[in-house]
Amino acid sequence: MTFHDLYETYPYFSIDVKKEQEVLRNHDLIVFQHPFYWNNMPPLLKLWQDEVLENGFAYGENGKELVGKEFLLSITTGGSADTYTAEGQNKFPVTDFMRAYEQMCSLCGMKWNPPHVLHSSRQNGHEEIYVHANKLKDFMSTFIERGHL
Ligand SMILES: Cc1cc2nc3c(=O)[nH]c(=O)nc-3n(C[C@H](O)[C@H](O)[C@H](O)COP(=O)(O)O)c2cc1C
């Protein structure tokens, strides 16, 4: 298992594409864990997606490196669960904003798993954060027990 902090690794946003692709090749489960920014991913992760998931690697006729891997999105949102309703500030269910991630999986041949969401992340106490972290840990443990990397 590899914990890879993009902001720590690339403070100047200069991504080592070949190295990142090698990391992806060596793992069966890819987890994006990040705060939701404008109902989307933070900018460095977007740049990573644009540069690392290139044609011929992640998609396209010869781009089959991610086929058969699994993907999990784990996010924290400042907004409460109520804000992600028709009457709430964000108007739509939080999963509606995840369609681009789901489509990324589909295009790359990765299996989409039900996302993990921690709402009201700035208001939560240790207990909620612990529950969220544990859920993620359990998911990964189960994955490893199934014989994956
Ligand atoms: C630039 C920016 C955009 C944000 N956009 C959203 C948003 O669209 N929806 C939301 O619920 N929270 C939003 N937030 C709040 C963050 O998601 C929240 O602060 C974060 O999940 C807290 O996690 P952290 O402590 O790891 O930063 C935004 C925060 C920043 C700085």
Domains in the chain, CATH or no CATH each: 28-40+60-149 (3.40.50.360)
C-alpha 69 – ligand 1 centre gap (Å): 28
DSSP element (H, E) containing 91: none
Q: Is the pTM of this model over 0.85?
A: yes
Residue of 8, 33, 36, 76 best suited for mutating to test ligand 1, as the one with most atoms within 8 Å of CB: 36
26 Cβ neighbours under 8 A, 6+ residues apart: 2, 149
**pLDDT tens by residue, the chain, 149 residues:** 899 999 999 999 999 999 999 999 999 999 999 999 999 999 999 999 999 999 999 999 999 999 999 999 999 999 999 999 999 999 999 999 999 999 999 999 999 999 999 999 988 888 989 999 999 999 999 998 888 76
Residue of 7, 33, 38 best suited for mutating to test ligand 1, as the one with most atoms within 8 Å of CB: 38
The position carrying tokens 């189960």 is 142
Nearest CA to ligand 1 atom 23: 35
